[in-house]
Structure 1
Amino acid sequence: MSGKRLDTERLYLLPTTLEDAEFFMRLVNTPKWLRYIGDRNIKTVDDAKGYIEHRVLSQYKRLGYSSFTIIRKSDHEKLGVCGIYEREGLDSKDIGFAFLPEFEGQGFGYEAASALRDAAFKEFGLSELLAITSQSNLGSQKLLLKLGMQPQGKIVLPNETEELFLFSLSR
Protein backbone atom coordinates (compact mmCIF):
# COMPACT_ATOMS: atom_id res chain seq x y z
CA MET A 1 0.00 0.00 0.00
CA SER A 2 1.22 3.45 -0.91
CA GLY A 3 0.60 5.13 2.44
CA LYS A 4 0.74 8.45 0.56
CA ARG A 5 -1.16 11.23 2.28
CA LEU A 6 -2.63 14.05 0.23
CA ASP A 7 -3.14 17.43 1.89
CA THR A 8 -5.48 20.29 1.01
CA GLU A 9 -6.24 23.49 2.86
CA ARG A 10 -8.81 21.86 5.16
CA LEU A 11 -8.37 18.12 4.59
CA TYR A 12 -6.11 15.11 4.81
CA LEU A 13 -6.73 12.28 2.36
CA LEU A 14 -5.29 9.10 3.84
CA PRO A 15 -5.36 5.68 2.19
CA THR A 16 -8.37 3.77 3.52
CA THR A 17 -7.34 0.98 5.90
CA LEU A 18 -9.01 -1.66 8.07
CA GLU A 19 -9.03 0.94 10.87
CA ASP A 20 -11.67 2.81 8.84
CA ALA A 21 -14.09 -0.14 8.86
CA GLU A 22 -16.62 1.27 11.34
CA PHE A 23 -16.72 4.63 9.54
CA PHE A 24 -16.92 2.87 6.15
CA MET A 25 -19.84 0.72 7.31
CA ARG A 26 -21.71 3.87 8.32
CA LEU A 27 -20.92 5.62 5.02
CA VAL A 28 -22.00 2.79 2.69
CA ASN A 29 -25.35 2.58 4.46
CA THR A 30 -26.30 6.25 4.06
CA PRO A 31 -29.38 6.91 1.92
CA LYS A 32 -27.42 8.59 -0.90
CA TRP A 33 -24.81 5.81 -1.08
CA LEU A 34 -27.54 3.19 -1.26
CA ARG A 35 -29.48 5.19 -3.87
CA TYR A 36 -26.64 6.33 -6.13
CA ILE A 37 -23.84 3.80 -5.61
CA GLY A 38 -25.70 0.71 -4.51
CA ASP A 39 -26.05 -1.70 -1.62
CA ARG A 40 -22.71 -3.39 -0.98
CA ASN A 41 -24.32 -5.67 1.64
CA ILE A 42 -22.08 -4.30 4.40
CA LYS A 43 -24.08 -4.66 7.60
CA THR A 44 -21.34 -5.22 10.19
CA VAL A 45 -17.83 -3.93 10.91
CA ASP A 46 -16.51 -7.35 9.85
CA ASP A 47 -18.33 -6.99 6.51
CA ALA A 48 -16.66 -3.61 6.08
CA LYS A 49 -13.25 -5.05 6.92
CA GLY A 50 -13.76 -7.79 4.34
CA TYR A 51 -14.75 -5.27 1.68
CA ILE A 52 -11.78 -3.02 2.47
CA GLU A 53 -9.39 -5.96 2.44
CA HIS A 54 -10.62 -7.52 -0.81
CA ARG A 55 -11.58 -4.45 -2.82
CA VAL A 56 -9.56 -1.51 -1.49
CA LEU A 57 -6.30 -2.93 -0.13
CA SER A 58 -5.89 -5.41 -2.99
CA GLN A 59 -6.10 -2.53 -5.49
CA TYR A 60 -3.56 -0.52 -3.46
CA LYS A 61 -1.16 -3.45 -3.67
CA ARG A 62 -1.61 -3.78 -7.44
CA LEU A 63 -1.78 -0.12 -8.50
CA GLY A 64 -0.50 2.02 -5.61
CA TYR A 65 -3.79 3.90 -5.20
CA SER A 66 -7.42 3.20 -4.38
CA SER A 67 -9.77 4.73 -1.81
CA PHE A 68 -8.74 7.60 0.44
CA THR A 69 -10.53 8.46 3.67
CA ILE A 70 -11.17 12.19 3.89
CA ILE A 71 -10.35 13.69 7.29
CA ARG A 72 -10.96 17.27 8.37
CA LYS A 73 -7.73 18.80 9.68
CA SER A 74 -9.40 20.97 12.33
CA ASP A 75 -10.87 18.10 14.37
CA HIS A 76 -9.74 14.86 12.63
CA GLU A 77 -13.36 13.98 11.83
CA LYS A 78 -13.81 11.42 9.02
CA LEU A 79 -16.05 13.03 6.40
CA GLY A 80 -16.15 10.65 3.45
CA VAL A 81 -14.06 8.84 0.85
CA CYS A 82 -12.62 9.77 -2.50
CA GLY A 83 -10.75 7.35 -4.69
CA ILE A 84 -9.51 6.23 -8.05
CA TYR A 85 -10.88 2.82 -8.87
CA GLU A 86 -10.45 0.08 -11.43
CA ARG A 87 -13.94 -0.84 -12.65
CA GLU A 88 -15.00 -3.65 -14.93
CA GLY A 89 -16.39 -2.21 -18.15
CA LEU A 90 -14.30 0.98 -18.09
CA ASP A 91 -11.15 1.40 -20.18
CA SER A 92 -9.55 3.89 -17.77
CA LYS A 93 -9.57 4.45 -14.02
CA ASP A 94 -12.63 5.97 -12.40
CA ILE A 95 -12.73 8.75 -9.81
CA GLY A 96 -15.47 8.50 -7.21
CA PHE A 97 -16.48 10.17 -3.96
CA ALA A 98 -19.05 9.95 -1.17
CA PHE A 99 -19.66 11.87 2.05
CA LEU A 100 -21.66 11.46 5.20
CA PRO A 101 -24.79 13.62 4.83
CA GLU A 102 -23.76 16.13 7.49
CA PHE A 103 -20.63 17.07 5.50
CA GLU A 104 -22.23 17.61 2.09
CA GLY A 105 -22.54 21.06 0.56
CA GLN A 106 -19.48 22.53 2.29
CA GLY A 107 -16.98 22.31 -0.59
CA PHE A 108 -15.21 19.25 0.81
CA GLY A 109 -16.05 17.17 -2.27
CA TYR A 110 -14.43 19.58 -4.70
CA GLU A 111 -11.44 20.10 -2.42
CA ALA A 112 -10.79 16.37 -2.01
CA ALA A 113 -11.57 15.35 -5.60
CA SER A 114 -9.39 18.14 -7.01
CA ALA A 115 -6.42 16.95 -4.98
CA LEU A 116 -6.97 13.37 -6.08
CA ARG A 117 -7.50 14.36 -9.72
CA ASP A 118 -4.18 16.24 -9.66
CA ALA A 119 -2.39 13.30 -7.98
CA ALA A 120 -3.83 10.93 -10.60
CA PHE A 121 -2.04 12.80 -13.37
CA LYS A 122 1.08 14.02 -11.57
CA GLU A 123 1.87 11.21 -9.12
CA PHE A 124 0.02 8.09 -10.28
CA GLY A 125 0.95 8.53 -13.95
CA LEU A 126 -2.56 8.36 -15.38
CA SER A 127 -3.32 10.10 -18.67
CA GLU A 128 -7.12 9.83 -18.43
CA LEU A 129 -9.72 9.72 -15.67
CA LEU A 130 -13.29 8.58 -16.08
CA ALA A 131 -16.28 9.04 -13.81
CA ILE A 132 -19.70 7.45 -13.77
CA THR A 133 -22.79 8.73 -12.04
CA SER A 134 -26.45 7.98 -11.79
CA GLN A 135 -28.52 10.15 -14.13
CA SER A 136 -30.50 11.39 -11.13
CA ASN A 137 -27.41 12.36 -9.07
CA LEU A 138 -27.28 16.05 -9.98
CA GLY A 139 -24.83 16.92 -7.19
CA SER A 140 -22.27 14.43 -8.47
CA GLN A 141 -22.71 15.64 -12.05
CA LYS A 142 -22.18 19.26 -10.98
CA LEU A 143 -18.98 18.33 -9.12
CA LEU A 144 -17.62 16.33 -12.06
CA LEU A 145 -18.16 19.30 -14.39
CA LYS A 146 -16.48 21.61 -11.86
CA LEU A 147 -13.49 19.24 -11.85
CA GLY A 148 -13.19 19.83 -15.61
CA MET A 149 -14.60 16.47 -16.66
CA GLN A 150 -16.55 16.31 -19.92
CA PRO A 151 -19.77 14.36 -20.55
CA GLN A 152 -19.19 11.36 -22.85
CA GLY A 153 -22.69 9.95 -23.11
CA LYS A 154 -24.17 6.97 -21.31
CA ILE A 155 -22.87 3.54 -20.32
CA VAL A 156 -24.19 0.36 -18.72
CA LEU A 157 -21.53 -1.52 -16.74
CA PRO A 158 -21.24 -5.32 -16.99
CA ASN A 159 -23.80 -7.21 -14.88
CA GLU A 160 -25.74 -3.97 -14.23
CA THR A 161 -28.97 -2.60 -15.66
CA GLU A 162 -28.81 1.12 -14.82
CA GLU A 163 -27.72 3.44 -17.60
CA LEU A 164 -25.15 5.82 -16.11
CA PHE A 165 -23.67 9.08 -17.32
CA LEU A 166 -19.99 8.77 -18.29
CA PHE A 167 -17.50 11.66 -17.92
CA SER A 168 -13.84 11.88 -18.85
CA LEU A 169 -10.80 14.09 -18.40
CA SER A 170 -7.46 13.66 -20.17
CA ARG A 171 -4.10 15.28 -19.53
Structure 2
Amino acid sequence: MNIRIETERLILRPFLEEDVDRLFLLDSNPEVMRYVGVKPLTQKKQSIEVIKIIQKQYEVNGIGRLAVIEKESNLLIGWSFLKYLTDEINGFKKIYDLGYRFLPEFWGKGYATESGKASLDYGFNVMNLEKIYAHAHSENVASNHTLKKIGFVEKGTFEEPDGICIWYEKEKNENI
Protein backbone atom coordinates (compact mmCIF):
# COMPACT_ATOMS: atom_id res chain seq x y z
CA MET A 1 0.00 0.00 0.00
CA ASN A 2 1.52 3.30 -0.98
CA ILE A 3 -0.89 5.87 0.45
CA ARG A 4 0.90 9.01 1.56
CA ILE A 5 -1.05 12.05 2.69
CA GLU A 6 0.50 15.39 3.58
CA THR A 7 -1.25 18.11 5.53
CA GLU A 8 0.14 21.41 6.71
CA ARG A 9 1.90 19.84 9.72
CA LEU A 10 1.62 16.07 9.25
CA ILE A 11 2.55 13.15 7.02
CA LEU A 12 0.30 10.07 7.10
CA ARG A 13 2.02 7.00 5.69
CA PRO A 14 1.93 3.21 6.08
CA PHE A 15 3.51 1.69 9.18
CA LEU A 16 7.03 0.36 8.81
CA GLU A 17 8.83 -2.14 11.03
CA GLU A 18 11.17 0.62 12.19
CA ASP A 19 8.15 2.37 13.78
CA VAL A 20 8.13 -0.22 16.56
CA ASP A 21 9.74 1.94 19.28
CA ARG A 22 7.39 4.90 18.83
CA LEU A 23 4.34 2.63 18.47
CA PHE A 24 5.28 0.87 21.69
CA LEU A 25 5.63 4.25 23.40
CA LEU A 26 2.07 5.03 22.27
CA ASP A 27 0.39 1.68 23.01
CA SER A 28 2.13 1.09 26.34
CA ASN A 29 0.90 4.42 27.75
CA PRO A 30 -2.04 3.88 30.16
CA GLU A 31 -3.31 7.40 29.51
CA VAL A 32 -3.47 6.75 25.76
CA MET A 33 -5.14 3.36 26.20
CA ARG A 34 -7.65 4.53 28.84
CA TYR A 35 -10.71 4.53 26.54
CA VAL A 36 -9.56 1.99 23.98
CA GLY A 37 -10.83 -1.17 25.65
CA VAL A 38 -7.41 -2.81 25.41
CA LYS A 39 -4.79 -2.97 28.13
CA PRO A 40 -1.53 -1.11 27.54
CA LEU A 41 1.15 -3.21 25.87
CA THR A 42 3.93 -4.42 28.11
CA GLN A 43 6.52 -5.74 25.64
CA LYS A 44 7.96 -4.27 22.47
CA LYS A 45 7.39 -7.55 20.62
CA GLN A 46 3.64 -6.87 20.96
CA SER A 47 4.12 -3.69 18.91
CA ILE A 48 5.92 -5.70 16.24
CA GLU A 49 2.83 -7.92 16.04
CA VAL A 50 0.54 -4.86 15.83
CA ILE A 51 2.55 -3.56 12.87
CA LYS A 52 2.34 -6.96 11.17
CA ILE A 53 -1.45 -7.01 11.69
CA ILE A 54 -1.82 -3.51 10.23
CA GLN A 55 0.42 -4.42 7.27
CA LYS A 56 -1.74 -7.50 6.66
CA GLN A 57 -4.82 -5.21 6.62
CA TYR A 58 -3.09 -3.12 3.93
CA GLU A 59 -2.54 -6.28 1.91
CA VAL A 60 -6.02 -7.80 2.38
CA ASN A 61 -8.21 -4.67 2.51
CA GLY A 62 -6.06 -2.16 0.65
CA ILE A 63 -6.35 0.21 3.62
CA GLY A 64 -5.60 0.51 7.32
CA ARG A 65 -4.44 2.89 10.02
CA LEU A 66 -1.51 5.06 9.00
CA ALA A 67 1.45 6.29 11.02
CA VAL A 68 1.25 10.02 11.68
CA ILE A 69 4.56 11.85 11.45
CA GLU A 70 4.89 15.41 12.71
CA LYS A 71 6.79 17.31 10.01
CA GLU A 72 8.50 19.69 12.45
CA SER A 73 10.08 16.93 14.57
CA ASN A 74 9.98 14.06 12.04
CA LEU A 75 8.64 11.86 14.87
CA LEU A 76 5.84 9.33 14.77
CA ILE A 77 3.32 10.95 17.11
CA GLY A 78 0.42 8.54 16.69
CA TRP A 79 -1.79 7.01 14.06
CA SER A 80 -4.91 7.99 12.17
CA PHE A 81 -6.92 7.10 9.07
CA LEU A 82 -9.58 4.70 7.88
CA LYS A 83 -9.85 1.01 8.65
CA TYR A 84 -12.12 -1.49 6.93
CA LEU A 85 -13.97 -3.24 9.75
CA THR A 86 -14.64 -6.89 8.97
CA ASP A 87 -15.81 -7.80 12.48
CA GLU A 88 -19.21 -6.60 13.65
CA ILE A 89 -19.46 -3.52 15.84
CA ASN A 90 -22.76 -1.97 16.91
CA GLY A 91 -24.56 -4.20 14.40
CA PHE A 92 -22.38 -3.03 11.49
CA LYS A 93 -19.62 -4.79 9.59
CA LYS A 94 -17.80 -4.28 6.32
CA ILE A 95 -17.70 -0.53 6.90
CA TYR A 96 -14.99 2.12 6.89
CA ASP A 97 -14.18 3.49 10.35
CA LEU A 98 -12.18 6.63 11.13
CA GLY A 99 -9.88 6.35 14.11
CA TYR A 100 -6.89 8.07 15.65
CA ARG A 101 -4.59 7.80 18.63
CA PHE A 102 -1.82 10.22 19.67
CA LEU A 103 0.85 10.49 22.35
CA PRO A 104 -0.26 12.78 25.21
CA GLU A 105 2.38 15.42 24.54
CA PHE A 106 0.69 15.99 21.15
CA TRP A 107 -2.86 16.26 22.49
CA GLY A 108 -4.63 19.60 22.20
CA LYS A 109 -2.65 20.69 19.12
CA GLY A 110 -5.35 19.93 16.55
CA TYR A 111 -3.57 16.90 15.10
CA ALA A 112 -6.61 14.60 15.42
CA THR A 113 -8.71 17.20 13.62
CA GLU A 114 -6.09 17.76 10.92
CA SER A 115 -5.50 14.05 10.27
CA GLY A 116 -9.22 13.29 10.55
CA LYS A 117 -10.13 15.87 7.89
CA ALA A 118 -7.41 14.50 5.60
CA SER A 119 -8.70 10.95 6.16
CA LEU A 120 -12.28 11.97 5.35
CA ASP A 121 -11.12 13.80 2.23
CA TYR A 122 -9.28 10.67 1.08
CA GLY A 123 -12.24 8.40 1.85
CA PHE A 124 -14.82 10.53 0.11
CA ASN A 125 -12.81 11.95 -2.80
CA VAL A 126 -10.26 9.23 -3.61
CA MET A 127 -12.08 6.07 -2.50
CA ASN A 128 -15.48 7.56 -3.41
CA LEU A 129 -17.11 6.26 -0.23
CA GLU A 130 -20.67 7.36 0.49
CA LYS A 131 -20.47 7.06 4.28
CA ILE A 132 -17.76 6.81 6.93
CA TYR A 133 -18.32 5.72 10.51
CA ALA A 134 -16.58 6.41 13.82
CA HIS A 135 -17.08 5.71 17.51
CA ALA A 136 -15.62 6.88 20.78
CA HIS A 137 -16.00 6.00 24.43
CA SER A 138 -18.67 8.22 25.96
CA GLU A 139 -16.24 9.50 28.61
CA ASN A 140 -13.57 10.47 26.05
CA VAL A 141 -14.63 14.11 25.82
CA ALA A 142 -11.78 15.21 23.55
CA SER A 143 -12.32 12.46 20.98
CA ASN A 144 -16.08 13.01 20.88
CA HIS A 145 -15.50 16.76 20.44
CA THR A 146 -13.10 16.11 17.55
CA LEU A 147 -15.51 13.80 15.74
CA LYS A 148 -18.28 16.41 15.94
CA LYS A 149 -15.86 19.18 14.91
CA ILE A 150 -14.98 17.36 11.68
CA GLY A 151 -18.63 16.81 10.82
CA PHE A 152 -19.66 13.47 12.25
CA VAL A 153 -23.25 13.17 13.42
CA GLU A 154 -24.04 11.28 16.62
CA LYS A 155 -26.39 8.37 15.82
CA GLY A 156 -26.73 6.67 19.21
CA THR A 157 -24.83 4.63 21.75
CA PHE A 158 -23.82 1.03 22.18
CA GLU A 159 -22.23 -0.98 24.94
CA GLU A 160 -18.71 -2.34 24.85
CA PRO A 161 -17.02 -4.37 27.61
CA ASP A 162 -15.21 -1.20 28.81
CA GLY A 163 -18.31 1.04 28.80
CA ILE A 164 -20.70 2.98 26.61
CA CYS A 165 -19.55 4.19 23.19
CA ILE A 166 -21.09 6.88 21.01
CA TRP A 167 -21.70 5.92 17.38
CA TYR A 168 -21.12 8.45 14.61
CA GLU A 169 -21.76 8.59 10.89
CA LYS A 170 -20.73 11.04 8.20
CA GLU A 171 -22.15 11.11 4.69
CA LYS A 172 -20.18 12.20 1.65
CA ASN A 173 -22.27 15.27 0.94
CA GLU A 174 -22.09 16.68 4.49
CA ASN A 175 -19.67 19.54 5.11
CA ILE A 176 -16.57 19.04 7.22
Give TM-score, length-normalised by structure 1. 0.90
**2:37 counterpart of 1:38:** yes
2:10 maps to amino acid = L
Alignment of 1:71 with 2:69, yes or no, is yes
Larger CA deviation: 44-53 vs 95-104: 44-53
Cα distance in 1 for residues equivalent to 2:39 and 2:14: 20
Assess if the C-alpha contact under 8 Å between 2:32 and 2:103 holds in 1: no
Tell me how far apart the structure 1 counterparts of residues 96 and 19 of structure 2 sit (CA, whole Å). 23
1:141-156 aligned at under 5 Å gives the runs 141-156=144-159
How many pairs are equivalent? 167
CA root-mean-square deviation: 1.6
* Aligned equivalents of 2:41, 2:34: Cα separation in 1: 15
Change (3 A) 1:94 1:120: same
Aligned to 1:120: 123
Give SS of 2:3's match.
Answer: coil
Quick one: which amino acid aligns to residue 116 of structure 1?
A: S
- For residue 127 of structure 1, report the CA deviation from its aligned partner: 1.7
The match for 2:109 is 106
Write the mapping of 1:9-20 to structure 2, written as runs, cut at 5 A.
9-20=8-19
Alignment partner of 1:95 is 2:93: no
CA distance in 1, matches of 2:114, 2:55: 24
Following TM superposition, where does structure 1 have runs of at least 4 consecutive aligned residues deviating by more than 3 angstroms?
Answer: none
Q: Which runs of 5+ in 2 are unaligned?
A: none
Once the two structures are superposed, the pairs formed by residues 40-59 of structure 1 within 5 Å of their partners are 40=39, 42-54=41-53, 56-59=54-57
Asked whether the 8 Å contact 2:37–2:162 carries over to 1, the reply is: no
Distance 2:133 2:82 in 1: 9
> 1:44/1:161 Cα in 2 relative to 1: closer, same or farther (>3 Å)?
closer
Matched residues in 1 for 2:40 and 2:131: separation?
31
Deviations, residues 51-99 of structure 1 (Å, cap 9, x unaligned): 2212x11111122211111111122022111021233223321111111
Alignment of 1:13-28 (within 5 A): 13-28=12-27
Query: What displacement does 1:134 show?
Result: 0.4
For structure 1, which runs of at least 5 residues remain unmatched after alignment? none
**Cα distance in 1 for residues equivalent to 2:13 and 2:59:** 15
Percent identity, please.
25
Secondary structure at the residue paired with 1:163? strand
State the partner residue of 2:169. 168
